[in-house]
Amino acid sequence: MKTDKALYLFELKLNMSAQAAMKQIDLKDYASKFALSGLPIVKVGINFDPERRTIGDWKVDGGSRLGGGCKNFISSVDWK
């Protein structure tokens, strides 16, 4: 997802872990495809828990030039 301040790379997993999602983003080198965008790249790994039918865990990495923009984005999402 691209905004005017950052490019967000999401990887979603089911019944695994947010860390597994982050590992796939890195192993497949998704960020390199967007390197020329000039925007900070924020990686977001999300794991869905099928038993609870909600997000089990999530991890965010990157976007240090955003000045809180990444936290604001994550906080604004209705995770229910």
Q: Work out the average pLDDT over 7-23.
A: 96
User: Mind giving me the DSSP string for 14-66?
Assistant: ESS-HHHHHHHHHHTTGGGGGGGG-S-EEEEEEEEETTTTEEEEEEEEE-GGG
What are 27-75's pLDDT values in tens digits?
Answer: 999 999 998 999 999 999 999 999 999 999 999 998 655 444 445 455 4
pLDDT at 62: 85
pLDDT at 53: 94
Continuous segment of H or E residues that includes residue 11: strand 7-14
Report how far residue 20's alpha carbon sits from residue 38's, in angstroms, rounded to the nearest whole number.
Answer: 27
pLDDT at 66: 47
pLDDT at 64: 54
